[in-house]
Structure 1
Amino acid sequence: MQNQKKLIEEPESHLEKSETQTSVKRKRIVIIAVALFFLGDLLCFAWVMRPESTKVASPAIAPFSEAQAAAFQTDWGTHLNIPEEMQNSLEMRFALIPPGTFTMGAGPNEKAVKSREQPQHEVSLSKPYYLCVHEVSLKNFREFVKDTNYQIDPRRDAAGVSQANLSAGNWVEDPLHPWEKVGFEQNEAHPVVNVTWFDAMAFCRWLSEKENRTYRLPYEAEWEFACRAGTETVFNTGNSLWFYGPMENHSDQTVNPGLIVHMQDASPWKDGYANTSPVGTFPQNHFGLFDTHGNVREWCMDWCDEEYYSHSPKVDPKGPQTGASRVLRGGCWGSNEYYCRSGRRMERAPGSRNVRNGFRILCEIDPESDFGEYEYSPTLHRDPRWWYESRIGEEVE
């Protein structure tokens, strides 16, 4: 009887033990599942809250669209934890330009191409930078002059000033007309003109010291990359500046006919501005920059070498180390369309003044960046007759 009872109890004990083991396994599974759930949440939270500087940002390799240009700016702003557009103490606005690769120079089929604009070659810019969305205005430059009591250096300006005599409809050399009296009406929103390369660099040095960050002129590779903004056409608007209407302030039916040579090539439109227009009047490009093809030609950092494109570095080219003239980029209010091309480049003595020349400034993101070369190079022609003679027969566009 006792043996029978033992036989009956043993299966029940075995069953209870089995059920207990199953229950423990289930609890373990639940605990593991809950732990994995919370671990997943923790990993997701860590990914979202990771430092901004670790987020991926790719170089902007041309060609790219307007939407892609904006995306590159956003990605690099996020990556560096800086705004896509910043404003300085003068209320000048700057667009973030990403590093990237593009084809620099003019194509073989572009009109009025010069040998100094060729051959086309691939260039890569390794660092992002801020570029002012507008050309430096009369208001901006006046603040600099007022704050520093800046005076024109007669050693740099002995050759005089290129001045438009609108009543006679021609160009005259007049040393009595600096940036304040340019021969046509301007307000504070118009770009400053009649400034030398040295004037532009003095403005940059003043602003750098004022804000404790580095402002300078752009190198021409930086300028052209920003101007093209992902496009590979003749202009950043396509292959025309006026097909659908005025896209930039360049020579049209409003400009004084006596001040340009090829009036037959002027735009058929009237944009309402015979000379300079307020900065930002015309449409912006894909990076948010205005007036890259018109209004005024812009001084760049580089010395100019007519054959530089045939041997320039592929990464971050900065022009030759010495020279006699500096590079100017972009078209102006008196330029015909084909003198406003993205690949168009000119050269002028750094001490020359012209009512078609102004400048745009760059702000370095890296606080350790150098200001850049400022003093005269030993190879610079100091004799003002050289500059005057070099202007004889110069193209007036």
Structure 2
Amino acid sequence: MSTLTVFYIKLVLIAFSSVAIWLGARSDSFWQQIQEKQQENRLLGFGLILFRLLPFILVYVVMNYSPRGDVPFFWGKATVAYQGGLVYRDFASYHAPLFSYIITLPILLWYTPKAIVLLMVMIEAAIIWGTYRTYKSLQTNAFKSIMLYVVLSAPAVMVLLGGQEDIWLWGIAVWMLYYFLRTKDDGLGLGLRFSAGLIVIKATAGFWLFPLWFLLKKRWSFLLGMILVGVPSLVILYLLMGMDFLMPLQMTTNLLTPNLFTVVRPLITALLGNAPDLPTFSWIGMVITLSSAVWMLYFARHKPLKQTLPLAFLATYIAMTIFQLSSPGYYVFTYMLPLVMELVNWKKSRDVVILLLFNALLVVQPFLFTHLNSPTYDDITVLGEPLFLLEYTLQLLNVACYGWYFLKVYQKARFA
């Protein structure tokens, strides 16, 4: 199947999901009937089969499509781990130490990269289910929101065709939220769960600790939970591989798109007379990301944690996609689910339209960017060509959507 054919299929998915979500956002009576008949669990399970499992079978079994995106990189790590290799020492990895071994588990049963995609689909489904179980006690329309997320084409493309794992970060966050709702304890147990992300997923799982810290009452008990997981993990890693375990902390300077840096890069290049220094701007982006998230949630520190924990997560990772030069659009998979649950008002047409636009941009822009050989626009004259101008415009619209949702987090943290 050609790349262009896959793109056309994505466009069909965008059109279908847009119509379905537009109608679903306005069909309050339909959702009410489902709840009255207590069919939520059955319909959610059916939705996951229809929009995740069946497409997987169609694409990878029937059509025998080869996985792309990050999956070939994951496959390279998993195969070495499968043979007994040691992460960081025997193969490169910028993920947490356990990640490579987790993605090895499915290939014990099915030795193909497709098994890794299936694992990603299954874990996303578990996180969706866990999010619904958590939010149904917090929001009256939780089922409606979770089902409309399942119908969105962008998350489906990201997990099915991209093999993305970034939603795992939200999985840790919603696990913490579920635990807090049951125990009302924001200390040791929450710290233990937070640390799980640092040893299972990747270093960016720790970014939202900075705004979260100001929201906790039992901060030092939370820190103790982190220490109980972190210190033994560091000791074991050091004994096994020396200082090689610091590999995930290496700052990347790979310019990915779209983010604020990529859309202003032509202006910066014109002002400096040369391409900007990537490591410098990477550190600047990191500082702005963390400080803006902390500033935003500081105003909400006296509100209940059940309200502010998701906002701390959203503030951090939306800021990351705005300000980090190494953040691609697919990083939105990190926070798309809580964004739908927390920031979209289905009764407002504006909210639905912006979500559908955002959904389409996340699918279309990466294809066009890759098709044009990843332009950096250091030579701004290329914008005179229609396709380059279109791709750059899509980047601008993407960043504008990030900004819109970042503002919504601020408004909810400050005024709601």
TM-score, with structure 1 as normaliser: 0.25
Higher helix residue share:
2
Q: Radius of gyration: which is bigger?
A: 1
